[in-house]
A and B are shown apart, each in its own frame.
Chain A
Amino acid sequence: MNFLKLAFRRLFRKGEHAFTRIISLAAGLAFGLLLLSEVLYYYSYDSFYPDSDRIYVVHENFKMDQSSDKLESHPRVSGAIAPGLQAEVPGIEAATRLNSLGDHVVYTEDLNSYDANISLADEHLFDVLPIPMVSGNPKEILKSPMTCMVSQELADNMGGNVVGKVISIKNYPDKELTIGGVFKTLPENTNYTYDVLVSMVSTEQFTWDGTNNWMGNDRYYACVKLNPGVKPADLVPAVRAMQVKHQDIEKLEEEYHGIVLQYSFEPIKQIHVNNVKDMIIILATIALAVLFVSLMNYILLTMGTLVTRAKSSAIHKTCGAETKNLQQMIFSETIVLFGISIVGALLMIWALKPIAEAQWGHSLVSLLNPYVIIPLVSLLVLLVFVTSYFPGRFFSRIPVATAFRDYKQKRGRWKLVLLSFQFVGATFILTVLVIVTLQYNNMKNADHGYVAKGVYYGSTQGMDGNKIATVLHELRSMPEVESVGLGFDVPINGASGNNILSMDGKRELFNVADFYEVDANYLSILGIKVDEGDDFTSNQAVANDVLISKKGAELLKLNNGWTDGVIGKQITVTEHGSTTIRGVFPDFVVRSISDPDVRPSVFFYLPEVKFEEQKIENPSASFNIMVKAQEGAQDGLMDKITEAFNIGFPLDDAEIKSLEAEQLDAYKSEKGFRNAMLIGNFIILLVTIIGLLGYTFNESARRRKELAIRRINGATLLDILKAFISDLEFVAIPAVLLGLTGAWFTADKWMQNFAFKAPLHWGVFAACSFFILILVALIAAINYTRTANQNPVDALRQE
């Protein structure tokens, strides 16, 4: 018998709730599969490289003294480490290193500009991390000075045939690179990405050349490919021998008691998984919760409809159907409903594509790789079997004789169990949603210790140094502008690091978040007030004077034994030399609350005119011009500021940012998570409501006679509702408590990512429980009221 054809016919039959089942299943599948595919995607990172199981990223593990047992692990090493490993450590088949120059604007000869991530790479790159080439010989290109190769995507944007063409970089205006080849664009699921690869022999043209450094300048991404059968642990003695030979590590360990410097080899496929392991647990938990609730709901509704089809089971049996035939029938129906639900889920995912892509930070198309597709398809097959097995088993076991008389399902506690799973899921996700929302709002609205509203800034990267004075004058003459200043960075972007040395200059006391130089207006633009000493507006301020945060001042007092404060004291800071502390300001949030840099911070003074001179002397130097707008004068101001900036840009390509928007953007991950929770919550609540409606509908049909007898015997509607709803709440209360426990654990784990946490107040949990319990009571009341208000005589007659 063609069960599939029959299954399609059944879709449109009244009372089968086919579309209700499809919608709730599709919604659950859409959300659950989307989250699960993201989790699986994490496991696909860098698996596209041939022999990826043998590729490892070299990590530098170190500690400076005995104050801690914990080794700091850093995924970058010094320049000479990769070639050293290849030369001196047996078991390594090949080693390579990359040195990122970061995101840049690239110009072609026709002065068209393109955004590109640029990296320096040695000629062994394709021995370890090969990418198919479209044209050119990668080894030759990466050996030749000032030669580069570009991704196919960038080449296509540049017009296709780019080999032999010359490009320049906005930040390095006088350097020209010849394109020697084109490589296939890297997939998105990689830890190390680039659009342009420049030969490493060109390093000194762009930055200080540390390619032969055995220690320090540890900014090289080094990868090795091990010989088959070799394990990272096998390499330890040879690596140590290399360190002894080239780093004189034994002497270092003797001189600096407690210092540890080791190298480890992390499997390239595990790097991303380790970085996001908390998120994997959270996303997988939520995905499985949503899928589980949807499936429970599907089974609950399906069982309900099978009761009404009991006679058809008996008819098939009297015509000779065996158990397996009836199970095949239900299996076919499940296939059809699942098939349609999957199509529906894919359409929903398509509709959610912009949100999902913004949240995940990659295209959804990149999910279409075997690491994601194979487990998901296997899961779907398993789900089809599970969701068809139980209803099929139930349907094939309905006794024939009973089915022909008047088959009614028994009370069936399993239905309540299925329903309670939905209550657990609904409570869990609602509570997590509320907590995530609270955390996001708290972070977004928290006092960061500086003013972001009305502050705009733009980089002078690529600006003509001779025109900076004109740009500043133009900006200052705008009536909407309150103040203009200069500085190397802004708090939301974080800061570089330098060490403050002890008074004798022999010891590093502590590391500081170094914002480098700022002019006299910078701090007032950000609303950072110096509450001890003077700021840089003082006439006494001279270049290289320093302001330090309160935390730093306290550490100085403690370390140096200063009892009379820090103002006017001399300190030595690496890279800056000796400097005088001019003032102390309150600590503010460096980077974001979700990822704060907790080091003390420092600003060094540089008069405006010196900034200009620096830019003229070194066109590659760049800093920010900061603009503080007058209150209420922000409409269209960004365009005006951009126009003023463009005076200094030959190609009119200035990029102005709003500090307030950047600050908000720093929390986009939390916002995305909140939005994902919101959608998940909507789906689970929808599924739960559908499940509850289905359950109460079936229950009121099953207990119609009981309801009628109660009414005839004088029970009021309220009495009946009380009795029926309390049955449900008896199941709902423990389920809600279980959901709350899960939510507490998940939220607690998620909150561990934040230094600043919204309090997990008991009121949040109480309110969420209350909401779910009221929702259950309300839906049950509506459905039972309808049945209870029927004429009891009719109900008994039908019985």
Chain B
Amino acid sequence: MLLQLNNIFKWVNSGGQRIFLLKDINLEVEEGEFISIMGPSGSGKSTLLNVIGMLDSFDEGQYNFLDESVHTLKEKHRSNLYKEYIGFVFQSYHLLDELTVKENLEMPLIYKNFKGAERKAMVADMLDRFNIVGKKDLFPAQLSGGQQQLVGIARALISNPKLILADEPTGNLNSKQGEEIMDLFKQLNEEGVTIIQVTHSEKNAEYGSRIINLLDGRMI
């Protein structure tokens, strides 16, 4: 078992009322799965993804990741955990504008204290694998949306995470670029990477082996 969510609740208090963002979420994810989370706007998809990615806290329930009880961990341990095992891919790519492609790829390795020579080799591998060697010294603003998302995925993968969390990874791309990215995800999943994606697209959701539907913070 990669992760397990038991009776997860998340809420905010507004005007004396408790508004639930997530309500009684129970989810088990095995290693190697490809899960698509779907639902209308405001249904809690991104919130759920953030909770799974340990970027957001929750108010009630239990979350176990690789047998570690996330809900009992301190902030530092939690961040160590996601640093080690999780890669993030975003709709808006979220590359750092002031870094070149190569530097964007290198960044997670630096934070994981890889040695310089090792970093260089891993970045070269990744550039090669994604066929973006020619773009290594360009800044994000000099790339197309599809290219930026490729870099975003390459950055998420560079430290060999067990889990990729993708929040509408094709949302800002045209259909052709979107298809290429989804094919890439499929290929990665076949290579053993667990993927959880949030999407509005039925077509993209079909790439997953399992679809989870959310409505008003509740799994349906």
Mark A residues whose CB is within 8 Å of B: 1, 6, 9-10, 13, 311-312, 314-322, 325, 399-401, 404
Bound Cα distance from A400 to B165, whole angstroms: 14
Chain B 40-58 interface 0/1 with A at a Cβ cutoff of 8 Å (1 = within): 0000000100100101100
Contacts of B108 in A (CB 8 A): 319-320
Bound Cα distance from A320 to B111, whole angstroms: 6
Asked whether, in the complex, the Cβ of A1 is within 8 Å of the Cβ of B98, the reply is: no
Give the one of A9, A312, A319 with max B CB within 10 A.
A319
B23 at the interface (CB under 8 A from A): no
B209 at the interface (CB under 8 A from A): no
A interface: dominant SS = helix
> Which residue on B lies nearest to A400, using beta carbons?
B55
B210 at the interface (CB under 8 A from A): no
Chain B 49-92 interface 0/1 with A at a Cβ cutoff of 8 Å (1 = within): 01001011000000000000000000010010011000010100
Interface size class of B (residues with CB under 8 A): 20 to 34
For the complex of A and B, 9 pairs with smallest distance between CB atoms: A320-B111, A320-B83, A401-B56, A400-B55, A319-B108, A318-B88, A401-B50, A1-B110, A9-B98
B99 at the interface (CB under 8 A from A): yes
A10-B98, A311-B94 known; A322+B50 contact, CB < 8 A: no
6 A/B residue pairs, CB under 8 Å, sorted by A: A1-B107, A314-B55, A316-B111, A318-B82, A400-B55, A404-B94
Bound Cα distance from A13 to B98, whole angstroms: 9
Distance from B104 Cβ to chain A, minimum over Cβ atoms (Å): 9
Count of A-B residue pairs with CB < 8 Å: 52
Asked whether, in the complex, the Cβ of B112 is within 8 Å of the Cβ of A320, the reply is: yes
Distance from A315 Cβ to chain B, minimum over Cβ atoms (Å): 5
B148-166 residues at the A interface, CB under 8 angstroms = 155, 159
B96 at the interface (CB under 8 A from A): yes
Known: A314-B55, A318-B55, A400-B56. 6 other contacts (CB 8 A): A6-B99, A316-B107, A317-B55, A318-B82, A400-B55, A401-B55
Distance from A172 Cβ to chain B, minimum over Cβ atoms (Å): 74
Contacts of A321 in B (CB 8 A): 111
Distance from B45 Cβ to chain A, minimum over Cβ atoms (Å): 13
A10-B98, A400-B55, A401-B56 known; A317+B107 contact, CB < 8 A: no
Bound Cα distance from A318 to B56, whole angstroms: 12
Chain B 4-26 interface 0/1 with A at a Cβ cutoff of 8 Å (1 = within): 00000000000000000000000
B95-114 residues at the A interface, CB under 8 angstroms = 95-99, 106-108, 110-112
* Cβ 8 A contact of A315, one of B47, B79, B94, B112: B94
> Which residue on A lies nearest to B55, using beta carbons?
A400
Distance from A698 Cβ to chain B, minimum over Cβ atoms (Å): 21
> Which residue on B lies nearest to A315, using beta carbons?
B94
Contacts of B53 in A (CB 8 A): 318
Give the one of B47, B50, B106, B112 with max A CB within 10 A.
B50
Contacts of A315 in B (CB 8 A): 94-96
Contacts of B94 in A (CB 8 A): 311, 314-315, 318, 404
Asked whether, in the complex, the Cβ of A322 is within 8 Å of the Cβ of B107, the reply is: no
Contacts of B111 in A (CB 8 A): 1, 316, 319-322, 325
> Which residue on A lies nearest to B93, using beta carbons?
A315
Bound Cα distance from A404 to B89, whole angstroms: 12
Distance from A311 Cβ to chain B, minimum over Cβ atoms (Å): 7
Distance from A719 Cβ to chain B, minimum over Cβ atoms (Å): 27
Contacts of A404 in B (CB 8 A): 90, 94
Contacts of B55 in A (CB 8 A): 314, 317-318, 400-401
Bound Cα distance from A314 to B82, whole angstroms: 13
Contacts of B97 in A (CB 8 A): 13
> Which residue on B lies nearest to A318, using beta carbons?
B88
Asked whether, in the complex, the Cβ of B76 is within 8 Å of the Cβ of A312, the reply is: no
A6-B99, A13-B98 known; A322+B155 contact, CB < 8 A: no
Bound Cα distance from A322 to B98, whole angstroms: 19
